[in-house]
Chains A and B, each alone.
Chain A
Amino acid sequence: MAESAPFDWLCTELESRTDLSLLQARGTVRLALKASGLDAATVRAEELAVVLERVLPNELATRGVDDSEGLTTSLASQIRAMSFAGEGAEAPDRVFERLGG
């Protein structure tokens, strides 16, 4: 299954702005997503921004990335300002939100 565009963007950014390889960056982000109940195929930019602020600082720090807080804060504001084409299928929680409305 293909990963979402925001996921690909974030991993490429982490590769270029840290010492992590693309493979390491993707693995780190995947672990953070799993801990947050999200997955790489459907994650949206807004969700990734929250993961960047709340989960990834620790994950990156344990992998020896300097100033992980500053980096993730900057990436979170960048990703929030971006627009990604094709957000994919409607998430189940959105459907259930509507069903109760």
Chain B
Amino acid sequence: MEWLAALGGGAFVLVSLVVGVRLLLLARRTRQLPEFVMGGALLLMGGIGYPATAIARGGEALDPALRGAIAGFALACQAIGIAGLGTFTARVFRADQRIATLGAWTLGLLALATVVTDGVFSGFQGAVQNVGLPMRGNEALAGVVLGWCTVESFLYHSKLKRRVTLGLASPVVANRIRLWGIGSLFAMLLNWISQVAAWNGIDVATSALGASLIGVLGPIAAGSVWLAFFPPASYLRRIERAAESTHG
């Protein structure tokens, strides 16, 4: 079963790395906040934080202080990623609502607080063992921000579908927003399953059921994000043809 988890987790890491770097390069060119925070979040959460967590938790032969440092670094990546995803969602979908910006900042600050708390009270051994309130809090905050991404993407996609019929929006962009929603949804499901398991003393990454779930849900999340930001030309043609045949 471990190979299935490695496959699912590996796909997620690879896609997060590639898409994250690509968006950061785009941000360097455009100087725009959305691509910077989304690229940074993907890179830090999925591309760096996730494998660093796996190394810290699985590296039993490593020095405990080193494992703690790696786990603390991974937790910090996750916290900055939470702040980034929250900022992206607030800035893109709720640009004119101050409460959304406030919500994003609150999520980010609470996530950073979980890092500081775990570091101060356990020297990041809580993060190594995946136990303790700061760990559960950090994971819960990631679940909240992924849920927010999912809801906003699907809500906006439902509006955009109507605009596509009037020729006011591109079917490719509408599909991209839906794929981002699907990617967020499956990442959120993985997060929630991991949380429920952790509350029951099970480490999803090392249990047989958890490995199967990561093996199935991980590639769906990764594939959706890949298709959203690196769609093959044949896929784009299919979306455009489908829109033409539906709306004329």
Report yes or no: B34 in contact with A95, Cβ–Cβ below 8 A. yes
Chain A residue contacts of B166, Cβ below 8 A:
36, 50-51, 54-55
What sequence of 0s and 1s flags, for each residue 34-51 of chain A, a beta carbon within 8 Å of any chain B beta carbon? 011111011000010011
A41-B96, A55-B166 known; A96 and B180 CB under 8 Å?
yes
B168 at the interface (CB under 8 A from A): yes
Give chain A interface residues in 78-94, CB to chain B under 8 Å. 88-90, 92-93
Report yes or no: B176 in contact with A89, Cβ–Cβ below 8 A. no
What sequence of 0s and 1s flags, for each residue 45-87 of chain A, a beta carbon within 8 Å of any chain B beta carbon? 0010011001100000000000000000000000000000000
B44 at the interface (CB under 8 A from A): no
> What is the bound-complex CA distance between A54 and B247, given in angstroms?
13
Which bracket fits the contact residues of B?
Answer: 20 to 34
> What is the bound-complex CA distance between A37 and B26, given in angstroms?
29
Residue from B35, B160, B229 in contact with A93 in the complex, judged by beta carbons closer than 8 Å: B160
B59 at the interface (CB under 8 A from A): no
A99 at the interface (CB under 8 A from B): yes
> What is the bound-complex CA distance between A41 and B96, given in angstroms?
10
Chain B residue contacts of A50, Cβ below 8 A:
166-168
Chain B residue contacts of A99, Cβ below 8 A:
23, 26, 34-35, 38, 176, 229
> What is the bound-complex CA distance between A98 and B228, given in angstroms?
12
Label chain B's interface by main secondary structure: helix
Report yes or no: B163 in contact with A96, Cβ–Cβ below 8 A. no
A23 at the interface (CB under 8 A from B): no
B121 at the interface (CB under 8 A from A): no
Report yes or no: B163 in contact with A37, Cβ–Cβ below 8 A. yes
A37-B161, A38-B163, A100-B172 known; A93 and B32 CB under 8 Å?
no
Give chain B interface residues in 182-208, CB to chain A under 8 Å. none
What sequence of 0s and 1s flags, for each residue 4-34 of chain B, a beta carbon within 8 Å of any chain A beta carbon? 0000000000000000000100100010101
Report yes or no: A98 in contact with B32, Cβ–Cβ below 8 A. yes
Chain A residue contacts of B3, Cβ below 8 A:
none
Q: Which residue of chain B has its CB nearest to the CB of A54?
A: B166
Chain A residue contacts of B231, Cβ below 8 A:
100
B128 at the interface (CB under 8 A from A): no
B174 at the interface (CB under 8 A from A): yes
The interface of chain B, by Cβ under 8 A from chain A, is 23, 26, 30, 32, 34-35, 38, 92-93, 95-97, 156, 158-163, 166-170, 172-174, 176-177, 180, 228-229, 231
